[in-house]
Amino acid sequence: MRFLAAVLVMVSGSALAGSVYLNGVRIDGVTNQKFDKVNVAIDDQGNVLIEAPGYNVRQVEGAPGESTPRPQPAGTLTKKYFLVTEQATPGMTEFDVEVFVNSKYLRTLKSGDEQIVTDITGKLTPGRNVLLFRATKRVAGATRKSFSKDHFFRVIIGEGQMSGDHVMIDNPVVRFERTAAENSDVTQEFTLTTR
């Protein structure tokens, strides 16, 4: 936290020529804020880039930095990235999983859903990306459907290719899993470096 405060003081004191971005939104002039578990980088133009998973940022009309997008790394993705779910028996884990990509909500994967396969390439940026999974136990009845570790809910993100209606994951890079034996909510963060 001391490092973050020092960076913000340096920027507000005009020691750097750039701006401050929180989750891709310019926040120059924002004061009296504290962020936990953040990643901070300073790019070659002096912009301070703060990635704060789980924090939502929105611009208010007339706010500093309006219509000023975060500088993106140069280059384009050469690989396709897919999110795929697997369940031993749909609905048995009773976990719903919220997925965030670079602190932006992507979707909620529900325990009772059939398999989901979706292309997320357009949601990723070249280079480093932060993926956050938030699993919440949702017991519908008076008792849990299962207590077995054999009933799993797995989310895989990987490099792959699409052929007709089929997706082939060539390189699984992120794997998040919960089982019916588990009862507590959990949040887990992964770093994905795209190619």
Quote the CA–CA distance of 3 and 23 in Å, as a whole number: 18
Quote the CA–CA distance of 109 and 164 in Å, as a whole number: 24
Residue 60 CA: distances (Å) to CA of 68, 71, 103, 132 = 13, 20, 18, 25
User: Encoding tokens for residue 173?
Assistant: 């890079």
pLDDT score recorded for residue 71: 52
pLDDT score recorded for residue 55: 72
Choose between 106 and 70: higher pLDDT: 106
Phi, psi of 9 (to 5 degrees): -65, -45
Percent of the chain with pLDDT over 90: 56
Quote the CA–CA distance of 62 and 178 in Å, as a whole number: 43
Each residue of 123-148: pLDDT tens digit? 999 999 999 999 999 998 899 999 99
For all residues of the chain together, what is the average pLDDT? 83
| For the chain, domain boundaries | 2-51, 80-193
Residues belonging to the chain: 195
Reported confidence tier of residue 9, pLDDT bands at 50, 70, 90: very low
Query: Which residues does residue 154 pair with via DSSP β-bridges, in sequence order?
Result: 86, 177
Each residue of 11-65: pLDDT tens digit? 444 444 678 877 777 787 777 777 778 888 887 777 787 877 777 666 555 445 4
pLDDT score recorded for residue 73: 52
Widest CA span of the chain, in angstroms?
60
